[in-house]
C-alpha cells in the first residue's frame, strides 16, 4: 500500500483528519454508565475496596444479570396479575355454590393453593380498580398483596414515604401497615398493648374452656355407659 505524498501530508489537518486512538476501557465505562448510571454507582459502593470495577467483563456480567432478573421479575408480576384477572373473571361467572366448590377443590386443579389465588385476585382488583399503578406493583406477589391491602388513606401515606414502588419488600409493607394501624388505633383512644394482653388472656380462657368441655363430655359418656350397664342387669 502506497503512503501519502508530501503534498497530501501537508494538507492533513492533524486536529481533525487523523483518527483518534481512544482507551477502549474508558469507552466501555461510558457505555455502561449511560445504560444505567445509578446501578453503576451502586456497584461501585458494593464492590468498593475490590478490583472488580476494573474488570469490565465482570461489570458487564453483573449489569446483564440485573437486566435479566428485572425482565424475569416483571414477567412474574405480569403473570400473577393476569392470573388474578382470569380468576376474577371466572368467579363472576359462577353462582355462589359453584364458587364455593371451585375454591374448595382449587388445589386439585392448579399448582398453587386457594390462599395464593385469593392474593392474586386482590392484586388484580387493586390494579384494575385504579388503586395501584401496574408499574409500581412489586414482582413478589407477597409484597404486591400487602400493597393491595392498603386502604386509600394508607396508600397516600405510603406514597408520600416512597413505598409505592416495585422494589419495596413484603416485610417493609407489613411493618408499615402495623405502624399505621397502631397510630390509627391510638388516635381513636385505643391502647393496642392493653388490647393484645386482653386478647391473649381471652385466648387462654377459651382453650381452658374447651378442655373443660371435652372432659365434661367424656364424663357424661362414662356415666351414661354405667347407667346403661346397670339397666341391663
pLDDT confidence of residue 207: 86
* Highest averaged pLDDT of the listed ranges 3-17, 23-37, 147-161: 147-161
Q: What is the pLDDT of residue 32?
A: 46
Confidence at 17, pLDDT banded by 50, 70, 90: very low
Task: Convert the pLDDT of each residue in 90-115 to its tens digit.
Answer: 999 999 999 999 999 999 999 999 99
Confidence of residue 69 (pLDDT cuts 50, 70, 90): confident
Q: How far is CA 36 from CA 52, 66, 74, 166, in A?
A: 17, 10, 18, 17
Does residue 160 surpass a pLDDT of 60? yes
> What does the domain layout of the chain look like in residue ranges?
55-198
Q: Give the residue from 87, 75, 164, 169 showing the smallest Cα distance to 125.
A: 87
pLDDT value at 27 more than 80? no
| pLDDT over 70 (residue 184) | no
Write down the pTM of the prediction: 0.57
Cell digits for 62?
Answer: 453483573
Amino acid at each position: 500500500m502506497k503512503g501519502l505524498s508530501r503534498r497530501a501530508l501537508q494538507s492533513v489537518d492533524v486536529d481533525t483528519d487523523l483518527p483518534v486512538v481512544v482507551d477502549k476501557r474508558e469507552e466501555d465505562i461510558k457505555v455502561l454508565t449511560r445504560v444505567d448510571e445509578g446501578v453503576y454507582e451502586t456497584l461501585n459502593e458494593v464492590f468498593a475496596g475490590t478490583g472488580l470495577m476494573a474488570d469490565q467483563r465482570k461489570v458487564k456480567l453483573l449489569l446483564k444479570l440485573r437486566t435479566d432478573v428485572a425482565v424475569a421479575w416483571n414477567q412474574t408480576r405480569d403473570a400473577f396479575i393476569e392470573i388474578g384477572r382470569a380468576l376474577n373473571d371466572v368467579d363472576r361467572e359462577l353462582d355462589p355454590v359453584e364458587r364455593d366448590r371451585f375454591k374448595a377443590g382449587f388445589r386439585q386443579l392448579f399448582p398453587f393453593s386457594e390462599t395464593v389465588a385469593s392474593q392474586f385476585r386482590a392484586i388484580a382488583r387493586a390494579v384494575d380498580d385504579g388503586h395501584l399503578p401496574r408499574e409500581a406493583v412489586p414482582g413478589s406477589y407477597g409484597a404486591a398483596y400487602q400493597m393491595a391491602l392498603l386502604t386509600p388513606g394508607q396508600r397516600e401515606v405510603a406514597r408520600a414515604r416512597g413505598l409505592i414502588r416495585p422494589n419495596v419488600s413484603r416485610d417493609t409493607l407489613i411493618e408499615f401497615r402495623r405502624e399505621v394501624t397502631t397510630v390509627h388505633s391510638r388516635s381513636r383512644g385505643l391502647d393496642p398493648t392493653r388490647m393484645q394482653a386482653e386478647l391473649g388472656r381471652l385466648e387462654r380462657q377459651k382453650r381452658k374452656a374447651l378442655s373443660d368441655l371435652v372432659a365434661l363430655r367424656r364424663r357424661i359418656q362414662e356415666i351414661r355407659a354405667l347407667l346403661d350397664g346397670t339397666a341391663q342387669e
